[in-house]
């Protein structure tokens, strides 16, 4: 049997009182992919930062191609052949494809860049990835997300990487780009690359990798062949308890119509969209990237201007302004929690209460004790894992940040929740908690519009599902009346727009 390309043995790392990693081991061979899975906060990122040179382990050892590997800095790991492809791409948008790929390793002589030699390397790397049609002189900021990811991977190839780490690489990709990425991963494996693949989507993990390592609370909770483990068993390893259902449903009853949308048209999307939402209903919206789902939610809340149409909440038609729509009972959880949904430098308490801060104000003074007690209560109700209400929001895991975002709209007394990709980038255990929360809210009479690109959760959690394409709501059916193939057929058949070639 061939020796592993990479071995990490007994890796431990402590930050103050927090034991982030405790005696974690893994190995991956050339031409193979290893799935690294676990909940947010399980230690995956810390382990990969040790591998990529961003952190130095307190104990343990690493071998790269049979040789001791002890990177002191990320540049050491890169020079040794370890490349990290982050979920948030690390590119200079105003530079060209060529300059991004060669950044830091430019081919130069006497202070001058040797463009012809450099371009040959770039074209060779792009050809390996099946993208030799991508112009090296093209500005990276003008590319699709999928094409930008190709540039990031090509940068690793040019630096002669032998181990490549992919951290949630599909979270912002269209289905088309996901397919192209998987084809690239197969190419890399065929050329002897060792791949570590991190994802919360178990079906992706099974498509990419044969073996897995599960981390929980900084320790190895399981390892072995994916073929020998069911999804339920993997999830149980991740969360430390048995899982009866990956998509828990809470019984709830549908009542009268609480939201009526008539011929709603925005500046780009939606286009002439009409539907009704009932009390206690969870309505899912599916569509390919650019279908207009996010724009529909933004128009409903008044964040984007609508050119025509009516939005009726109960028996009233509130003005198309965010404050009027919020007072009418609408609340939005944005798909972009980092730059729009939450104020990252502020505390949990600030983020949770800012949209309804007036209830804690007396005579122009903020009653901090009363607010703290209320925030603590919301944190308990939604199982937010944090030190205290004053902890900065950007110190929380993605799943806990999402819970705070949902708590914010509940705190402002929203009766109609507009949830835009609320489970994106969070682990399966936290997803199950959010599904259960949605069902509980519906049982209390709250109504939910749930936008997601992940069809299994829409069909499992929602009462009804609508399909959007090119700004239009094409069809709504009861969730039980759809199959995944039927949903995709409607989305694709109606989407006659030619998708941009990944350039």
Identify the pLDDT of residue 290.
76
What are the backbone dihedrals phi and psi of residue 354, each rounded to the nearest 5 degrees, phi first? -60, -35
Does position 346 have pLDDT exceeding 90, yes or no?
yes
pLDDT number for residue 431: 85
Residue-wise pLDDT for 16-30, tens only, equals 888 999 999 999 999
Average pLDDT, the chain: 89
Quick one: average pLDDT of 37-47? 86
For residue 390, give Cα distances in angstroms to 18, 84, 344, 345.
19, 33, 13, 11
Res. 494 pLDDT band, cuts 50 70 90? low
By percentage, how much of the chain surpasses pLDDT 70? 95
Are 332 and 418 in contact by the 8 Å Cβ rule? The answer is: yes
497 pLDDT higher than 50: no
Q: Backbone phi, then psi, for 183, in 5-degree steps? A: -65, -40
Question: What pLDDT sits at residue 121?
Answer: 87
Residue 306 has phi, psi (to 5 degrees) of -105, 140
Domains, the chain, with CATH or none: 6-239 (3.40.50.300), 245-329+415-503 (3.40.50.300), 341-413 (no CATH)
User: Which band of pLDDT confidence, cut at 50, 70 and 90, is reported for residue 495?
Assistant: low
Q: Out of 144-153, 347-356, 404-413, which region has the weakest mean confidence (pLDDT)?
A: 144-153
Q: Between these two residues, 395 and 499, which has the higher pLDDT value? A: 395
At 246, is the pLDDT very low, low, confident or very high (cuts 50, 70, 90)?
confident
pLDDT confidence bin for 382, thresholds 50/70/90: confident
Match 């069909």 to its residue by tokens: 459
**Band of pLDDT at residue 222, cut at 50, 70 and 90:** very high
pLDDT at residue 162, rounded to an integer: 93
Structure confidence by residue, pLDDT tens digits, 121-143? 889 888 888 888 889 999 998 98
DSSP 428-444: HHHHHHHHHHHHHHHHT
Of the pLDDT bands very low, low, confident and very high (cuts 50, 70, 90), residue 156 is confident
Specify the 3-state DSSP secondary structure of 202.
helix
SS3 of 102, please? helix
Whole-model pTM above 0.75?
A: no
pLDDT higher than threshold 90 for residue 438: yes
């Amino acid at each position: 049997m061939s020796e592993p390309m990479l071995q990490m043995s007994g890796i431990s790392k402590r930050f103050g009182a927090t034991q982030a990693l405790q005696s974690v081991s893994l190995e991956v061979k050339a031409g193979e992919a290893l799935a690294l899975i676990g909940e947010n906060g399980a230690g995956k990122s810390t382990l990969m930062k040790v591998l990529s040179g961003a952190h130095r382990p307190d104990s343990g050892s690493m071998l790269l191609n049979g040789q001791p590997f002890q990177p002191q800095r990320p540049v050491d790991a890169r020079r040794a052949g370890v490349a990290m492809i982050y979920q948030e791409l690390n590119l200079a948008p105003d530079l060209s494809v060529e300059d991004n790929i060669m950044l830091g390793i430019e081919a130069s002589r006497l202070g001058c860049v040797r463009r012809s030699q450099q371009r040959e390397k770039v074209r060779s790397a792009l050809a390996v990835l099946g993208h030799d049609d991508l112009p090296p002189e093209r500005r990276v900021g003008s590319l699709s997300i999928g094409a930008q990811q190709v540039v990031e991977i090509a940068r690793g190839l040019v630096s002669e990487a032998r181990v490549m780490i992919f951290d949630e690489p599909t979270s912002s990709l269209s289905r088309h780009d996901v397919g192209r990425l998987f084809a690239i991963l197969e190419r890399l494996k065929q050329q002897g690359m060792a791949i570590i693949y991190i994802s919360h989507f178990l079906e992706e993990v099974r498509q990419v990798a044969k073996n897995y390592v599960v981390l929980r609370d900084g320790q190895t909770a399981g390892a072995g062949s994916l073929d020998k483990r069911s999804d339920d068993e993997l999830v149980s390893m991740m969360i430390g308890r048995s899982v009866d259902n990956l998509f828990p449903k809470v019984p709830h009853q549908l009542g009268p119509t609480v939201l009526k949308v008539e011929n709603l048209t925005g500046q780009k999307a939606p286009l002439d969209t009409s539907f009704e939402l009932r009390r206690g209903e969870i309505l899912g919206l599916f569509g390919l990237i650019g279908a207009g789902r996010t724009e529909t939610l933004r128009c409903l809340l008044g964040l984007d201007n609508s050119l025509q149409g009516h939005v009726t909440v109960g028996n009233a038609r509130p003005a198309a302004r965010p404050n009027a729509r919020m007072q009418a009972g609408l609340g939005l959880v944005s798909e972009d929690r980092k730059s729009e949904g939450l104020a990252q430098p502020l505390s949990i308490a600030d983020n949770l209460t800012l949209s309804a801060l007036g209830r804690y104000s007396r005579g122009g003074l903020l009653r901090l004790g009363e607010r703290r007690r209320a925030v603590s209560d919301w944190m308990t109700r939604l199982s937010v894992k944090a030190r205290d209400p004053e902890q900065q929001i950007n110190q929380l895991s993605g799943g806990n940040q999402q819970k705070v975002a949902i708590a914010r709209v509940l705190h402002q007394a929203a009766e109609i929740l507009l949830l835009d990709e609320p489970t994106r980038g969070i682990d399966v255990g936290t997803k199950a908690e959010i599904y259960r929360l949605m069902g509980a809210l519906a049982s209390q009479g709250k109504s939910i519009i749930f936008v997601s690109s992940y069809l299994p959760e829409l069909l499992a959690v929602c009462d009804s599902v609508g399909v959007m394409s090119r700004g239009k709501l094409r069809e709504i059916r009861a969730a039980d009346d759809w199959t995944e193939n039927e949903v995709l057929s409607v989305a694709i058949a109606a989407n006659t727009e030619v998708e941009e070639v990944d350039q």
